[in-house]
Structure 1
Amino acid sequence: MTRVTSIVLIPSYNTGPILYQSVAAARAQWPEVWVVVDGSTDGTAEGLRQLAENDAGLRLMVLPTNSGKGAAVLYGLSAAAAEGVSHVLTMDADGQHPAELIPAFMQAAAEHPDCMILGRPVFDASAPLLRVRGRRVSNWWANLETLWMGIGDSLFGFRVYPVAPLLDIMRRQRWMRRFDFDPEAVVRLAWRGVRPINLDAPVRYLSKDEGGSSHFDYWRDNVLLTWMHTRLVLGFVARLPWLLRMRMARP
């Protein structure tokens, strides 16, 4: 059994003041919260630096230029692995993810250390209909690419990863550095035999008046996802005999 040592990892790029609320909410639920500021120009790095000076449980890492969510997570994973951390819960900085569920997700990871604990989003009326319906396409492809091994949602970034296999996957190839990180991570981990466990998690889309922000670009990011799934389908075909054996071996 893997000895579970876990941190919360929050990548952030120009999220604005809502980042402070997200960090405070995470710190209220977990003793170790690390934030990777991915080349932000909104002043939040300076604000977090002041907070970290008075909070031993908050660690700040600042990247000089914006490199993408996956690159920020990779930076945090590398630092975590160097300190013997076994599991990382990733959480978005924009206030959408339910910090109050951090203990439950960490407990699931402790009980199933060789699995990935995936948030399955429960949307309310604040969710843009286009985003809710559009993610079904990516979810269908991710399940095909893994022979329906049980990925509840491929895009929702509130999840617990085992550090060692994800870090090895990311270091072996140059993708998964931007918006494609979340779906490609779960597919490639499933290919490695890391079983998904899905837990429901409410999602809240904040309005601009509430401090909400989004860097999602419909055309750019959907092109990125299309290219990602093209690559993954090719990898799926190459792995199909092994995936069939693994799938048939599971109850």
Structure 2
Amino acid sequence: MPTASATHLVLIPSYDPGPKVYETVAEALRYWAPVWVVVDGSTDGTAEGLVEMARHHADLLVIVEPYNRGKGAAVLAGLTRARAEGYTHALCMDSDGQHPASLIPAFMQASGAQPKAMILGVPVFAADAPRARVYGRRLSNLFTDIETLGHHIGDSLFGFRVYPIAPLFRIMSARRSMRRFDFDPEAAVRLFWEGVTVCNIDAPVRYLRKTEGGISHFHYVRDNLLLTGMHIRLIFGLLYRLPRLLRPGARPRSCRR
């Protein structure tokens, strides 16, 4: 039986994920209730399939957005409704089957023990993971280390995380950024700046081949330019906050499990 909660929910943003999304959602429902899926303007027929799936699962809610606006925008749509319904925390995971649904209870338990913390997954790559992905994310992690004045965020791009809803909603509502592929790293850095404790937990990640149903919407030029602009913006934001962050005890604690 899945663990039911009135405070913590699983939130899955989804855009043209292909049939793999049904397996992902079913796996999440095995371990937790409720599970919410925000369909970000999908055109591959999965919106209709997920709505039908929800008719047979009382613990599944599907929110269908009419246009594709990006991962961060989909997360914000989910957070807005979750906040209105009294939820305090959201575990975000991708819809493509890369993230380990079996670890949902452990991450939620860690969040329950530290409700003011963000619980960040740190990917443990299999031997067959694409080298370009493994090494390419190290550059983003290097910038994140600079932006947090130390190795506080285990991985800046891994989207398997539990967020406290109130501070994340406040941060996202105050700016137009964090709506697309820039969501994961910017959310972690800005929450850190706001004094949110960081707890890093190892989690295995799967990179699925096309023959296994794997689909990637990463656009090499567009999204790398987006990330570059984001890090430039965060570096300037760090300079503004540097005097405060350098005060003794000003930076939040971080831990690694």
- TM-score exceeds 0.5: yes
Q: Mapping of 1:210-229 within 5 angstroms? A: 210-229=212-231
**What are the superposed Cα offsets for residues 25-58 of structure 1, whole Å, 9 maximum, x if unpaired?**
0000101000000000000011111111111100
Name the CA shift for 1:149/1:85 in 2 (closer, same or farther; >3 Å): farther
SS of the residue 1:245 aligns to:
coil
Q: Given that residues 149 and 196 in structure 1 are in contact (C-alpha distance below 8 angstroms), is that contact kept between their aligned partners in structure 2? A: no
Q: Given that residues 13 and 40 in structure 1 are in contact (C-alpha distance below 8 angstroms), is that contact kept between their aligned partners in structure 2? A: yes
Residue 215 of structure 1, CA deviation = 0.4
Q: Given that residues 7 and 89 in structure 2 are in contact (C-alpha distance below 8 angstroms), is that contact kept between their aligned partners in structure 1? A: yes
Name the CA shift for 1:151/1:247 in 2 (closer, same or farther; >3 Å): farther
Identity in percent: 62
Q: Which residue of 1 aligns with 2:203?
A: 201
Q: Given that residues 193 and 251 in structure 2 are in contact (C-alpha distance below 8 angstroms), is that contact kept between their aligned partners in structure 1? A: no
What is the TM-score when the length of structure 2 is the normalising length? 0.94
Q: Which residue of 1 aligns with 2:237?
A: 235
Residue 125 of structure 1, CA deviation = 2.3
Structure 2 unaligned blocks of 5 or more: none
Name the CA shift for 1:249/1:192 in 2 (closer, same or farther; >3 Å): closer
The one-letter amino acid of 1:93's match is: S
| More deviation, 144-153/74-83 | 144-153
Aligned partners of 2:122 and 2:100: how far apart in 1? Answer: 12
Q: Mapping of 1:239-250 within 5 angstroms? A: 239-245=241-247
Residue 126 of structure 1, CA deviation = 3.0
Q: Mapping of 1:45-194 within 5 angstroms? A: 45-148=47-150, 150-194=152-196
| More deviation, 143-152/17-26 | 143-152
Aligned partners of 2:12 and 2:176: how far apart in 1? Answer: 21
Alignment length (residue pairs): 249
What is the TM-score when the length of structure 1 is the normalising length? 0.96
**What are the superposed Cα offsets for residues 88-107 of structure 1, whole Å, 9 maximum, x if unpaired?**
00000000000000000000
Q: Which residue of 2 aligns with 1:23?
A: 25
